[in-house]
Amino acid sequence: MLKLALPSGSLQKPTQEIFAAADLNISTPDARCYEATIDDHRISMVRWMRPQEIPLYVAEGRFDLGIGGYDWVVERGCADNVEVVMKLNYSKRSNHPVRLVVVVSETSPIQSVADIKPGSRVTTEYVEITRQHFEKLGIPVKIDFSFGTTEAKVPEIADVAVELTESGSSLRANHLKIIDTIMESSTVLIANKQSWNDPEKHREIMDLTTLLQGVLAARGKVLIKMNIAQAHLEDVLKTLPSMKNPTISQLSGGQSVYYAVESVVEKAGINKLIPQLKSAGAEDILEIPIAKVIR
């Protein structure tokens, strides 16, 4: 059975949502309680933890599995000590990777990291990643740990900031500009190395991974079903996108030959696709939500 560490804070809600969609509902007795349960025989313990701590606890074997940003896996020096099982591709506001960037005031003459003067003060939560990055660049800087509101410290308190960004909107709102990208980061599922190499736990990990991957694969997709007269079948199939090939079966009975066709398509653009299918000859069109796609 697996011990699982899940991220508290901004990632808690999207984590709960993806687990619920995978039929792994997370129950917490109280909103202020960090103990949780999942009614699944493969999971023995669940704890909400700070994302900064999870990589270290998984590496040490206190948990078999954990979820958090890959940026913290690297920052805590755990990249070689845990197994990255899968990317979960969700963050605070989107389903896209985030970037760890170097920023300065938008009024600064600095246009690239090469323009940063030796001895400049850098503020960041990611002290170790920042130290390694500037060492590789050969620029000696003074790095201050930031407990938050990092964007507010440039330029009065610090010359440079290293900060995580999704869209860049918060940086622009604080009159900062990006001059370098250190790394991209996604939310990842990580495993303790010994747990990963244990046959029974490995099987349990892969079972959970299959469910989570199925949820992610289904995001933004719907199942579309329709009936089509034989005379219009070719025209409709030319219009219909598909993950692979659509499923086609002939309907029984009736004086005319009809086919039932179904396909998984992207939800985006469905408002254009359905009228196009109808114009091509499709009838009885159904749009059905999808919970999982298991490949």
For the stretch 120-150, pLDDT in tens is 999 999 999 999 999 999 999 999 999 989 9
Amino acid type, 14: P
Tokens of 190: 């990580």
Q: Can 2-93+186-218 and 221-289 be said to share one CATH topology?
A: no
Q: Delimit the domains of the chain by residue range.
A: 2-93+186-218, 98-185, 221-289
In degrees and rounded to multiples of 5, residue 44 shows phi and psi of -100, -25
Domain 98-185: assigned CATH number: 3.40.190.10
Between 92-96, 102-106, 179-183, 239-243, the lowest mean confidence (pLDDT) is in: 92-96
For the stretch 8-19, pLDDT in tens is 988 899 899 999
In degrees and rounded to multiples of 5, residue 175 shows phi and psi of 60, 45
Amino acid type, 287: E
Tokens of 111: 């246009």
pTM reported for the whole predicted model: 0.86
Q: Where are the alpha helices (DSSP H) in the chain?
A: 12-21, 54-60, 70-75, 127-137, 169-173, 193-197, 199-218, 233-239, 270-280
Asked whether 292 and 218 are in contact (CB, 8 A), the reply is yes
Residue with tokens 């197994």: 83
pLDDT of 155 strictly over 90 = yes
User: How many whole angstroms separate alpha carbon 15 and alpha carbon 4?
Assistant: 12
In degrees and rounded to multiples of 5, residue 79 shows phi and psi of -60, -35
Domain 221-289 matching CATH 3.30.70.120: the answer reads: yes
Asked whether 205 and 185 are in contact (CB, 8 A), the reply is no
For the stretch 163-220, pLDDT in tens is 999 888 889 999 999 999 999 999 999 999 999 999 999 999 999 999 999 999 998 8
Topology of the domain covering 2-93+186-218: D-Maltodextrin-Binding Protein; domain 2 (3.40.190)
Determine the pLDDT at residue 91. Answer: 57
Q: How confident is the model at residue 96 (pLDDT cuts 50, 70, 90)?
A: confident
